[in-house]
Chains A and B, each alone.
Chain A
Amino acid sequence: MGATEVVTKKPTISPLEATLRVAWKRAKQVWTQIYHSRNAMAGLIILLFFASLAITAPWIAPYRPTQPVADATCSTLPVPATYLQPPCPAHPLGTNYNSNDIYSQVIWGTQISFIVGIASAVVATVVGTAVGLISGYVGGWIDEVLMRFNDVILSIPWLVLMIIVAAKVGVVDLTGLILVIGLTGWSVTARVIRSQVLSIKERMFVERAKMLGAPSSRILVRHVFPNAFPLIFANTILTVAVSILSESVLAFLGLRPPDTYSWGRIIAEAIENAAVLYNAWWLIVPGLCIVFLVFGFYLFGYALDEILNPRLRRR
């Protein structure tokens, strides 16, 4: 039944479909290269490990992050108590001052890192891509204005910017946190996309489309964006890593939504309660989790960047 339809139908595809088609075609080529790149595979394995931890957290974590434990089996205090227990088989990382099981908190924290990291990277990428595409393709004074604004954002120390935006937006919940990180983290993306657009703009097929009378908006959506997409994707993965780091820094400095136990928050609470004196694991394990998750994103992102960015390929 499909055959006649395909023939009679005009071969027009939606911009989204064009993007997806180009992306799918490239993705298949890229996958074989990823498969043969040691760094990319190592990164991917780390990411899959943490992703499975995040997904299965409700089943593998013995307690909820804010749920106090009932037993005091590990307590070394003269009068056994449920709080501040040292590590032992029942509580591999001990318990904190609220009698919460730190091991469970670390597992639940994986979810927060993924959610905040990916969501704010998407926000940053959407804003950065829009700015980069417009600025690179339109050029002229719009480009000048956008790039000067970008310079300003890049020059202000990002931490200060983030804290001030946080004071404005208010870090009352995860959405606020995601917006803060996303809205302050798009300037590098915008620069990368802009330079890519500048080079795509000069290619033959864009010239051809122009000659055939395609409007700029169409060229932008149908030709420039799909071709810049692989780079945008690789850049998003790197942005996720940066966002996870930003989240932990904000949590460390006290900008943390209540009731979300991220790794940054666990570290901050450990420091605030002088964990070093009796239970250094409280501090070290969530830190290592951040390091390895970010390492995974970076390894995968850089390897992908090297695969997708033709300049770096060995000729």
Chain B
Amino acid sequence: MRKVLRIMVRRTVNAAITIFGILCLNYVLIRLMPGNAEANLAPHNPQYAGYLADNIRTFGLDRSPEEQFVIYLQNAFTFNWGISYYWKQPVADLLLHDLSWTLLLVGTSTIFTTLIGMVVGSFAAVRRGKPFDLISTGGTIFLYGMPIFWLGIVLQLAFQKYGAISHVFTWWPWFPTQGYWDDPNTGFPQVWAWDWTHISNVLWHLVLPALTLSLGTLAGISLVMRSSLIDVMTEDFVLTAKAKGLSDRQVLRRHIFPNGLPPMVSLIALDIAFIFGGAYQVEWVFNYKGIGWRTIEAIGHLDFPTLQFIIVIGGVAIVLANLFSDFLLLWLDPRIKIT
């Protein structure tokens, strides 16, 4: 138990260091951008002089670099993230709103990718070298090689309302290709209500983006699952289990899965960073206004106050996911406690 506690403390400290590192790197990166921070933090237009004054006060831009850094850290932890001069709203509100939509998208696709990827990967591992293995491995690598934005556009083409395919086959389904919800009556998002019509509408809009993201990131899980199980299959205790007369199914259930699955947890968590990266493209293509969409828009408008903390929020989300997976693994995999 002491050991578990020590590992937990160490992991937490590491995560804290990483978050601190992200904050530092972010501070440096934004100040490395072309132009000085003072000019970057307000648009180059006299009508925004008020914003500039605001931002100079918020970020302490008239102080020395060391003081600025302390103020920056203070602001980061108190959610005092300044005002976006493009959207003219507090950055913290804006980003927390975006984050909820991104988490919905990333969460849904992570669940689907993980489930499908693990099933496909374990089938492939069990049938190593057989046709299923070759086809599924080839197929997932093929999907992995697709630029996610292109996959999204092709799916949009295939499933848009009056697309070429639905022109020929009338039964062909269609899905919304833009935005995250709309009022069924007007076609525009107007007033949100927590009822079935609206929730189903959100899910309806989620189908294509989530499908794109899941397909694009499927290989990450299934290939790792396959190699993780194959790793275990070459261990001596599997041979022993077979030698003592257990059926293949028993060997799989009692020996291979319990040993091969736990390492997957940390790999899935690592993959979340990749899925997040994919979400940026998906959100842009599907006009799904989450963190990724906001980032690309903010870069386009050189909206530095927003840009500054978008990096932090994405990075921290990934670090926390990794930390959570470490704890989960500690609970799932007794081997870690011994070594």
Q: Is B33 in contact with A164, judged by CB distance below 8 angstroms? A: yes
Q: Is A156 in contact with B22, judged by CB distance below 8 angstroms? A: yes
Stretch at the interface among A123-131, A225-233, A282-290: A282-290
B238 to chain A, nearest CB (A): 11
Expressed in whole angstroms, the Cα–Cα distance for A167 and B280 within the complex equals: 18
- Considering the complex, give the chain B residue whose CB is closest to the CB of A305: B227
Contact of B150 among A148, A267, A314 (CB under 8 A): A267
Q: Is A157 in contact with B134, judged by CB distance below 8 angstroms? A: no
Contact of B21 among A152, A293, A302, A315 (CB under 8 A): A152
- Considering the complex, give the chain B residue whose CB is closest to the CB of A151: B18
Contacts of A245 in B (CB 8 A): 145, 147
Contacts of B212 in A (CB 8 A): none
- Bits for A272-299, please: 1 = Cβ < 8 Å to B, else 0: 0000100010011001001111110111
Q: Is B18 in contact with A148, judged by CB distance below 8 angstroms? A: yes
- Considering the complex, give the chain B residue whose CB is closest to the CB of A253: B296
B299 to chain A, nearest CB (A): 6
Q: Is B18 in contact with A155, judged by CB distance below 8 angstroms? A: yes
| Max count, chain B CB within 10 A of own CB: residue among A155, A245, A287, A299 | A155
Contacts of A156 in B (CB 8 A): 22, 25-26, 311, 314-315
- Considering the complex, give the chain A residue whose CB is closest to the CB of B270: A154
Expressed in whole angstroms, the Cα–Cα distance for A157 and B310 within the complex equals: 10
Q: Is A149 in contact with B21, judged by CB distance below 8 angstroms? A: yes
Asked if B29 is at the interface (CB within 8 A of a chain A CB), the reply is: yes
Total interface residues in chain A, CB < 8 Å: 48
Contact of B277 among A157, A252, A287 (CB under 8 A): A157
Q: Is A276 in contact with B157, judged by CB distance below 8 angstroms? A: yes
Asked if A312 is at the interface (CB within 8 A of a chain B CB), the reply is: yes
- Bits for B12-50, please: 1 = Cβ < 8 Å to A, else 0: 001001100110011001001110000000000000000
Contacts of B316 in A (CB 8 A): 155
Contacts of B14 in A (CB 8 A): 148, 151
Contacts of A160 in B (CB 8 A): 280, 295, 310-311, 314
Q: Is B223 in contact with A252, judged by CB distance below 8 angstroms? A: no
Contacts of B154 in A (CB 8 A): 284, 287
Q: Is B18 in contact with A152, judged by CB distance below 8 angstroms? A: yes
Take A168-B32, A299-B141 as given contacts and tell me if A151 and B21 are in contact as well, using a CB distance cutoff of 8 Å. Answer: yes
Contacts of B141 in A (CB 8 A): 295, 298-299, 302
A39 to chain B, nearest CB (A): 7
Q: Is B311 in contact with A167, judged by CB distance below 8 angstroms? A: no
Q: Is B33 in contact with A167, judged by CB distance below 8 angstroms? A: yes
Q: Is B147 in contact with A290, judged by CB distance below 8 angstroms? A: yes
Chain A positions 81-137 with a Cβ under 8 Å from a chain B Cβ: none
Take A152-B21, A155-B315, A163-B299 as given contacts and tell me if A283 and B153 are in contact as well, using a CB distance cutoff of 8 Å. Answer: yes
Expressed in whole angstroms, the Cα–Cα distance for A152 and B314 within the complex equals: 11
Expressed in whole angstroms, the Cα–Cα distance for A283 and B285 within the complex equals: 14
Asked if A28 is at the interface (CB within 8 A of a chain B CB), the reply is: no
Contacts of A302 in B (CB 8 A): 137, 141, 223
Q: Is A314 in contact with B277, judged by CB distance below 8 angstroms? A: no
- Bits for B128-149, please: 1 = Cβ < 8 Å to A, else 0: 1000001001100110111111
Asked if B170 is at the interface (CB within 8 A of a chain A CB), the reply is: no
Asked if B284 is at the interface (CB within 8 A of a chain A CB), the reply is: yes
Expressed in whole angstroms, the Cα–Cα distance for A149 and B18 within the complex equals: 8
Q: Is A291 in contact with B146, judged by CB distance below 8 angstroms? A: yes
Take A155-B22, A157-B314, A159-B281 as given contacts and tell me if A249 and B33 are in contact as well, using a CB distance cutoff of 8 Å. Answer: no
Expressed in whole angstroms, the Cα–Cα distance for A295 and B144 within the complex equals: 8
Q: Is A167 in contact with B34, judged by CB distance below 8 angstroms? A: yes
- Bits for B279-312, please: 1 = Cβ < 8 Å to A, else 0: 0110010000000100110010000000000110
Asked if A65 is at the interface (CB within 8 A of a chain B CB), the reply is: no
Asked if B276 is at the interface (CB within 8 A of a chain A CB), the reply is: yes
Expressed in whole angstroms, the Cα–Cα distance for A241 and B146 within the complex equals: 10
Chain B positions 105-152 with a Cβ under 8 Å from a chain A Cβ: 128, 134, 137-138, 141-142, 144-150
Chain A positions 175-218 with a Cβ under 8 Å from a chain B Cβ: none
Asked if A271 is at the interface (CB within 8 A of a chain B CB), the reply is: yes
Asked if A158 is at the interface (CB within 8 A of a chain B CB), the reply is: yes
Expressed in whole angstroms, the Cα–Cα distance for A124 and B230 within the complex equals: 29
A-B contact pairs, 5 of them (CB 8 A): A155-B22, A249-B147, A267-B153, A291-B145, A291-B150
* Leading 6 A-B pairs by shortest Cβ distance: A294-B145, A152-B21, A287-B150, A295-B145, A155-B315, A151-B18
Interface residues of A (CB under 8 A from B): 38-39, 42, 148-149, 151-152, 154-161, 163-164, 167-168, 241, 245, 248-249, 252-253, 264, 267, 271, 276, 280, 283-284, 287, 290-295, 297-299, 302, 311-315
Given contacts A168-B32, A264-B147, A287-B154, 18 further A-B contacts (CB under 8 A): A148-B21, A151-B319, A154-B273, A155-B322, A157-B273, A157-B280, A159-B292, A163-B296, A276-B157, A287-B150, A290-B145, A290-B146, A291-B150, A294-B144, A298-B144, A299-B138, A311-B234, A312-B227
